[in-house]
Amino acid sequence: MSIYLVHFLQAFLPFVCITALLLPLLQWRKAAFLGIAGVVLGYMAFFIFSTNADNFYYGINCSLCLALLLTLGISFVRLKGMHEILFFILSFLFMARYCYISRLYPLLSTDFLETLAISSAGLIALGALFCFAAFVLLRMFAARWLGILAALMLLNALAGDILLKLMQDSIIETHSLLLSYVAKTIHYSFLIPYFLVSILGILGISLLFKLPHKPHKQHFLDTTYRAQNALRASLLCRASSSVALMILVWASLLYFDLIASRPIVIDAPKIVEPEHGLFVFDVKMLDDNKLHRYAYITNEGKVVRFFLLNRFADRSSPGVVFDACALCGDMGYVKQGDELICIACNVRIFLPSVGKMGGCNPIPLAHRIENDKIIISVYDVLSGSNFFSQTQQKQVFDPVSGEALINFDAPFQYSFKGITYYFANEENQKQFIESPERYVDDGAQIPYKIQRLIQ
**What is the rounded average pLDDT of the residues 300-310?**
88
β-sheet with 303-310: strand ranges across: 270-271, 292-297, 303-310, 318-325, 362-364
8 Å CB contact between 308 and 374: yes
The answer on 229 and 208 residing in a single domain is: yes
Buried-exposed string 325-350: b where 16+ CB fall within 10 A, e elsewhere: beebebbbbebeeeebbbbbeebebe
Write down the pTM of the prediction. Answer: 0.69
**What is the rounded average pLDDT of the residues 230-258?**
92
What pLDDT, on the 0 to 100 scale, is given for residue 443? 41
8 Å CB contact between 43 and 99: yes
Q: Does 54 fall in a domain?
A: yes
CATH classification of the domain holding 284: 2.102.10
The answer on pLDDT for 164 being more than 60 is yes
The answer on 306 and 398 residing in a single domain is: no
| Cα–Cα–Cα angle for 44, 50, 53, rounded to 5 degrees | 125
- Reported as a pLDDT band with limits 50, 70 and 90, residue 6 is very high
Q: Does 265 fall in a domain?
A: no
3-class state of residue 350 by DSSP = coil
Answer with the one of 355, 387, 419 that is the final residue of a domain.
387
What pLDDT, on the 0 to 100 scale, is given for residue 444? 35
The answer on 431 and 288 residing in a single domain is: no
The answer on 312 and 357 residing in a single domain is: yes
In angstroms, the first-to-last Cα distance of the chain is: 47
Buried-exposed string 54-83: b where 16+ CB fall within 10 A, e elsewhere: eebbbebbebbbebbeebbebbeeeeeeeb
What pLDDT, on the 0 to 100 scale, is given for residue 79? 73
The answer on pLDDT for 446 being more than 60 is no
What's the pLDDT tens digit per position in 393-412? 878 888 888 888 888 888 88
What's the pLDDT tens digit per position in 7-52? 999 999 999 998 877 877 777 788 888 889 999 999 999 988 888 8
The answer on 294 and 436 residing in a single domain is: no
Which structural domain range is residue 185 located in?
3-260
Whole-angstrom distance, CA of residue 90 vs CA of residue 419: 63
The answer on pLDDT for 237 being more than 80 is yes
**What is the rounded average pLDDT of the residues 404-427?**
82
The answer on 290 and 147 residing in a single domain is: no
- Reported as a pLDDT band with limits 50, 70 and 90, residue 452 is very low
- Reported as a pLDDT band with limits 50, 70 and 90, residue 442 is very low
The count of domains in the chain is: 3
The answer on pLDDT for 243 being more than 90 is yes
**What is the rounded average pLDDT of the residues 406-427?**
82
Strands 270-271 and 292-297: parallel
- Reported as a pLDDT band with limits 50, 70 and 90, residue 449 is very low
Q: Which of 74-78, 175-179, 219-223, 348-352 has the lowest mean pLDDT?
A: 219-223
Task: Fill in the amino acid letter for 15.
Answer: F
What's the pLDDT tens digit per position in 341-373? 888 877 888 888 888 877 778 989 999 998 889
The answer on 184 and 44 residing in a single domain is: yes
The answer on 218 and 127 residing in a single domain is: yes
The answer on 404 and 376 residing in a single domain is: no
What pLDDT, on the 0 to 100 scale, is given for residue 399? 85
| Cα–Cα–Cα angle for 92, 95, 101, rounded to 5 degrees | 140
What's the pLDDT tens digit per position in 103-154? 888 877 666 666 778 888 899 999 999 999 998 898 888 788 888 999 999 9
The answer on 312 and 255 residing in a single domain is: no
For the chain, what's the residue count? Answer: 455
Q: Does 345 fall in a domain?
A: yes
What pLDDT, on the 0 to 100 scale, is given for residue 111? 60
